[in-house]
Structure 1
């Protein structure tokens, strides 16, 4: 047995990886990776929403040539399990985002690379030929946003994901109690070339209103989304949508798709679970605008439930970091393999052979309580 295989012993689901990662990572790093905002209400609610939804399978259906393929923005993808943008993979493994890219390529998964990656977006692209999207955190200087966009285009990224739900950091008490700080060796390298243009906001002083802080006064708006769309031929998705009205505004601004997300419960606590609002957003934008979703996905049955409520694909964040912490690229690949295998078995047991066969009739319509 190889060392990589040995590291996977006893790991049969995503919860196993979370437990093992919690034992391997320093306590402060674990708090950063896993903490939700404030009391963790939204983080727990994300997971609970999947538990409360029940599948309603059909039996004795003939399934021939089943597959999990989907088409988005004119490109064909092998399955609907994507890697969400998460920052600083070097906290979990020395190979950082390069390892994540290698795993994504091996499992044919779309990898959405974060602005705050610990490896440059060009180095991630060079690590493996996986389908890649680039996630953009809006910067107050438009020239910086344009420079990042042009770099992503040149490196072969296939879409731009503009995250809009975290203009300021959430109140993550568990992380604060742990005393977490980013090691000096780990930096947001994609932003370093523009350090002279990016003013580092100072600490909020006692008695100062947050509304006076540069992070608030320079926040992006819908005009900025429309501007970004006009700068590129790549599809632009808006990530961080919870309200149907905002989904409609995103489409009006030219977004090619939206991602229903509450940032994994890491920013504003006490907001609904993403699964709860997903069908409302799908209805608001109509059948021709792809809606993706993240938050709380732990099982292939969770993926199936999200697809049944109208999502075209799902994204996973924390589980990727757990896999990375446990076994590097091998761990991330195994995480993706587990989820895809669970999705396929759930589809077979529910009587569906392709994503096109999945709709709300697959969900139990009775009381979920």
Structure 2
């Protein structure tokens, strides 16, 4: 009799043959592992499995930087974008390079203290300033895993690691069949839905569903206005004015997040409209080629809005060291996208937790080695 382990809900069962699904959480059979063969114990174990399931799309390289020697980018120009960046991928590369160009100042003299990496985010205590980004659509990538399993892996893996996962929106999500909102309702609102900038009436319906699911906040992926695949599938998206954003902010009692911001003017407009969170992001370099890296535009936005709104940033962040750099530049928290997709595909909830816990460990080490005891104390003085 073999023993089987569900990477989604951690259920163990004994039976002769591999289960075709988990009887506890209904996860797909591909996410259930033979205990005798071993289960992932490290992020690298998880990435090894993700490499197989994302073959031809993402090879889970040690350096996820969008260079032309990477399978995601060398095939992207003029073809479906896959895991790569828009156009020739310079925005994707700029995200990674901007962080690589920053140096940390090591400080080892002073009173000994264990760093406190926790933060307050919209009244929620997070163990560290890292959240899962609002990704979506993974079931259309090599049929890597069912969409609801993907959403559940992000939500529960982040929760188990002491943080929260954001959930995204894509062309096959509709108000009538929205995998993210379905999972968030089933998981009692343990995640934050971020919607594409659809028509106002559609957004209001989705926001009402998020409220009904018990979500702690809702948001808008403003840079999704450039999504051609949404329009091709009868899911039109639009640029949003300050008036539009304010209308949505006032429609809900939940804190409102505006994501996809790369210009100070847009950041100030979102704050003016009443957004509680401004997310600095170029969508991982996937919506417009030739933008700066997010680490290049973050300081100006943080200088003007720090303390007035909560500032998040994503783009090129791969390690706890990168997290520290972004916090030093003025972010209140960061989001992880591609790495968390790989973690979910390679190991379900378990994979996401393993990856997030590794990032937390390295972030706390980086705080310790730069003499930082609290996240609120981190500033540009730790950069060389």
Question: 2:29 — aligned with what?
Answer: none
Indicate the structure whose relative CO is greater, using CA pairs within 8 Å and at least 6 residues apart: 1
Please list, as runs of the form range in 1=range in 2, the aligned pairs for 1:78-227 lying within 5 A after superposition.
78-90=127-139, 91=141, 92-94=144-146, 95-116=149-170, 120-128=179-187, 131-140=190-199, 142-169=200-227, 200-201=233-234, 218-227=238-247
- CA offset digits 1:237-290 (Å, max 9, x no partner): 210111111111111111112000000000101000001111011112243221
Note if 1:341 corresponds to 2:370. no
Question: 2:56 — aligned with what?
Answer: 27
Which residue of 105, 115, 132 maps to 1:56?
105
Deviation at residue 57 of structure 1 after TM alignment:
2.1
Question: 2:335 — aligned with what?
Answer: 315
Q: Secondary structure at the match of 1:166?
A: helix
Question: 2:19 — aligned with what?
Answer: none
Query: 1:29, 1:274 → 2: CA distance?
Result: 22
Deviation at residue 41 of structure 1 after TM alignment:
0.6
Query: 2:347, 2:116 → 1: CA distance?
Result: 28
Structure 2 gap ranges (5+) = 6-32, 60-71, 73-80
Residue 272 to residue 333, structure 1, CA distance change in 2 (3 Å): same
TM-score (norm. length: structure 2) = 0.76
Q: Do the aligned residues in 1 keep the contact of 2:150 with 2:345 (CA within 8 Å)?
A: no
Query: 1:110, 1:254 → 2: CA distance?
Result: 22
Q: Do the aligned residues in 2 keep the contact of 1:56 with 1:362 (CA within 8 Å)?
A: yes
RMSD: 2.8
Residue 234 to residue 341, structure 1, CA distance change in 2 (3 Å): same
Q: Do the aligned residues in 2 keep the contact of 1:111 with 1:130 (CA within 8 Å)?
A: no
Q: Secondary structure at the match of 1:34?
A: coil
Query: 1:73, 1:331 → 2: CA distance?
Result: 26
Q: Do the aligned residues in 2 keep the contact of 1:245 with 1:284 (CA within 8 Å)?
A: no
Deviation at residue 8 of structure 1 after TM alignment:
2.9
Query: 1:17, 1:49 → 2: CA distance?
Result: 27
Query: 1:363, 1:131 → 2: CA distance?
Result: 35
Aligned length: 322
Q: Which moved more, 1:309-318 or 1:104-113?
A: 104-113
Deviation at residue 23 of structure 1 after TM alignment:
3.4
Query: 1:296, 1:28 → 2: CA distance?
Result: 18
Deviation at residue 225 of structure 1 after TM alignment:
0.5
Note if 1:71 corresponds to 2:120. yes
- CA offset digits 1:71-100 (Å, max 9, x no partner): 123332221110010112434323221122
- CA offset digits 1:222-241 (Å, max 9, x no partner): 22111111101211121011
Q: Do the aligned residues in 2 keep the contact of 1:109 with 1:131 (CA within 8 Å)?
A: no
Q: Do the aligned residues in 2 keep the contact of 1:104 with 1:130 (CA within 8 Å)?
A: no
Query: 1:17, 1:41 → 2: CA distance?
Result: 28
Query: 2:257, 2:182 → 1: CA distance?
Result: 23
Q: Secondary structure at the match of 2:227?
A: coil
Structure 1 gap ranges (5+) = 171-180, 182-187, 189-197, 203-213, 365-369
Query: 1:66, 1:122 → 2: CA distance?
Result: 36
Q: Do the aligned residues in 1 keep the contact of 2:278 with 2:311 (CA within 8 Å)?
A: yes
Question: 1:194 — aligned with what?
Answer: none
